[in-house]
Amino acid sequence: MRPRARQPPGAGIVTKPRRTGGRGRHTGRMGDSGRFRAAVALYAGLVVACAAIGIGDAHPGVTTLALVLTLPAGFAYGPLSLVVDLVPFSPYAVNVVLIGALAIMNVVVLRWLRRIVPADPAASAVTDRLDRALVGSGVLLTPMARRTERVRTETGQVRLERSLDLRDLPMPYRDLLGMFRAMWQRAGLNVQECPDPPAVLAYDAEGYEFLVEPGPYGEAVLKVASPPARERGYLLGALAGGLPTVALFAFGLARYLGDERNPLGSALYPLIVGCLVVGPAALAIGVLCLFGYGSRAFGRGLLLGGLPSLAVALLYALPLVLQGR
């Protein structure tokens, strides 16, 4: 009689969902899709409402807010606004429709950017190591995934951490620690033992941390954390994008207060010219930084800090340049 084949390690990671009926098969996916459509409708309605409230010259600040909410797709407002005068309808109504269309386009653009921007390499590396540690143990148990967390260390650095609750252990907890300790020692990891509470800690050559410790319900927890990383890049990026904008606004204010003949023109001209340089530069450099693992935080901060310059370039500079004013 042939022996029964053993279940492969880690087979309990993915479980088949229970069918509750013919119409409830994709209930979760349909629910997510419904929430997404509702969020898009709410966002587009808010933008259209702001554009309608600021119609004409009654509330130009509200129209400015509507255009800012359509970024980055709102950068197309400059050339598209030239077509408004050619349409044989009310230019105000066409402008509201145009801003609403830009809001819908912005949803498409943001989803596309989310797909093309590469994921954080540390997140995929942590997931891969966690799966290999569980499958490599060869222990048949029930793993329950926990949410990914960003854990701050004592030195102010941040680790990306993923963990699994190990349920239905087929052996005593201390035997499980011995099994993981022996496995990680054979793999060449730097293994340490913690006496209270009993746990096993290991580090690989790239600085990833492996930990097996008691769980909150008497079971075990397997954790994998990325090497500690600094978050100063985000602040530096925000300062690099924001300080030039603040300087431009301060310079424009000084020109406005110092010119008695044409204060508005003296203030707007250097502000517009400067934002035409700072805004696109922050956008281009920030997007490029998103593709590098070490520069992602700097790129996000640079995009956030350069957003006011991008808004000024969109709302004032581009329409004036394109209309030849």
Cα distances from 86 to residues 17, 76, 77, 80, 265, in angstroms, run 56, 17, 15, 11, 29
Pair 46, 70: CB distance under 8 Å: no
Map residue 256 onto helix, strand or coil. Answer: helix
Average pLDDT on 294-314 reads 79
Of 69-78, 103-112, 246-255, 316-325, the range with the lowest mean pLDDT is 316-325
**Separation of alpha carbons 74 and 215, rounded Å:** 50
| pLDDT tens per residue, range 172-229 | 989 999 999 999 999 999 999 988 889 999 999 999 999 999 987 668 999 999 988 7
Q: What does the pLDDT read at residue 67?
A: 74
76-80 long-range Cβ contacts below 8 angstroms, 24+ apart: 76/102, 76/105, 77/102, 77/314, 77/318, 77/319, 78/314, 78/318, 78/319, 78/321, 78/322, 79/322
Q: With 0-12 CB in 10 A as exposed, 13-18 as middle and 19+ as buried, what is 38?
A: exposed
Between residues 169 and 9, which one has the greater pLDDT? 169
Please tell me the number of Cα atoms within 13 Å of 200 on its side-chain side.
21
**Backbone phi and psi for residue 99, each to the nearest 5 degrees, phi listed first:** -65, -35
**Angle in degrees, 0-180, between the axes of helices 27-53 and 91-116, rounded to the nearest 10:** 140
DSSP classification of residue 294 = T
**Backbone region of residue 218 per phi and psi (left: phi > 0; alpha: psi in -120 to 50; beta: other values):** left
C-alpha 48: how far from its chain's center?
26
pLDDT more than 70, % of the chain: 71
Is the Cβ–Cβ distance between 209 and 224 less than 8 Å? yes
- Sequence ranges of the domains in the chain: 28-116, 121-225, 232-322
